[in-house]
């Protein structure tokens, strides 16, 4: 099973793809500057970093590069803004830093603590639950460019769209561009996927973009 997550790290948005198997939980893709809501699950793995490795028992260790990871506790009590959790504590040690991760059953990573010399950086889970019910769905501002009625100039609208779990930017764009105000896409045209490769954003539309095109001669 593969899972997708997105987080903000040092001012940039990082997308990660996790693979969950009997061997453990590992990151198989990590994409920085992923400001577009793109589904990377179908991408070829380019990365391997275990967050948890079987068997899930105290003192189990593994190595990723220069970091040696050890499961230090299965019942670590952790209090973060999202609440209090009983966690698996995993500690990674390298020559000049220590990285602690705390995982709660049914939740995931609730706390991460990086310690190096006199510097400590913590990431804590601030909220956990039903984002739609709690009215705190992630939102993005989108710029929509569309032709004027006389097709003599390009107009711009800015809209804020909320995203439910699993909803992609491609789906939102398809929905928006079929609005009567814009009418950029035909009834059955869909934006199938978006890919960012070497700084270029590539869009893949369904065949209806051509077959249902209403273009002047």
State pLDDT tens for residues 133-191: 878 887 888 899 888 888 889 999 999 988 887 788 888 889 998 998 888 888 899 99
Task: Output 61 or 151, whichever has higher pLDDT.
Answer: 61
- Mean per-residue pLDDT of the chain: 86
Task: Output 118 or 12, whichever has higher pLDDT.
Answer: 118
Average pLDDT of span 61-71 = 94
Two structure tokens written together for 190: 């869909």
Task: Output 155 or 14, whichever has higher pLDDT.
Answer: 155
Per-residue pLDDT at 217 exceeds 70: no
Two structure tokens written together for 117: 């010399």
Per-residue pLDDT at 114 exceeds 90: yes
Task: Output 17 or 73, whichever has higher pLDDT.
Answer: 73
Residue 139 in contact with residue 161, Cβ under 8 Å? yes
Beta strands (DSSP E) in 32-163 are 49-53, 61-64, 67-80, 83-93, 98-104, 108-116, 119-124, 139-147, 154-162
The torsion defined by the Cα of 19, 25, 31 and 36, in degrees rounded to 10, comes to 70
Cα of 131 vs its chain's centroid, Å: 15
Distance CA 84, CA 195 (A): 39
Listed range (36-40, 110-114, 121-125) with the worst mean pLDDT? 36-40
Per-residue pLDDT at 3 exceeds 70: no
Residue 88 in contact with residue 106, Cβ under 8 Å? no
pTM of the model: 0.71
> In the prediction, which pLDDT does 16 show?
86
Listed range (72-76, 132-136, 212-216) with the worst mean pLDDT? 212-216
Comparing C-alpha atoms, which of 122, 65, 119 is closest to residue 95?
A: 65
Average pLDDT of span 7-27 = 79
- Give the pairing of strands 24-31 and 61-64: unpaired
Two structure tokens written together for 46: 């380019």
């Amino acid at each position: 099973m593969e899972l997708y997550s997105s987080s903000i790290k040092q001012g940039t948005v990082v997308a990660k793809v996790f693979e969950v198997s009997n061997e453990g939980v590992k990151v198989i893709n990590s994409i920085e500057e992923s400001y577009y809501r793109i589904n990377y699950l179908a991408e070829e793995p380019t990365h391997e970093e275990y967050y948890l490795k079987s068997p899930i028992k105290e003192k189990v260790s593994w190595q990723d590069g220069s970091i040696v990871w050890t499961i230090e506790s299965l019942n670590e009590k952790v209090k973060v803004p999202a609440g209090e959790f009983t966690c698996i504590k995993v500690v990674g040690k390298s020559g000049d830093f220590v990285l602690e991760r705390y995982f709660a059953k049914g939740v995931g990573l609730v706390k991460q603590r990086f310690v190096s010399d006199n510097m400590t950086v913590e990431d804590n889970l601030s909220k956990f639950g039903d984002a739609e019910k709690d009215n705190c769905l992630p939102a993005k501002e989108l710029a929509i460019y569309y032709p004027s009625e006389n097709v003599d100039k390009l107009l711009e609208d800015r809209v804020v769209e909320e995203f439910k779990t699993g909803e992609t930017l491609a789906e939102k764009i398809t929905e928006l561009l079929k609005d009567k105000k814009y009418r950029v896409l035909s009834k059955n045209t869909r934006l199938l996927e978006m890919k960012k490769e070497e700084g270029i954003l590539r869009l893949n539309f369904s065949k209806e973009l051509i077959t249902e095109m209403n273009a002047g001669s």
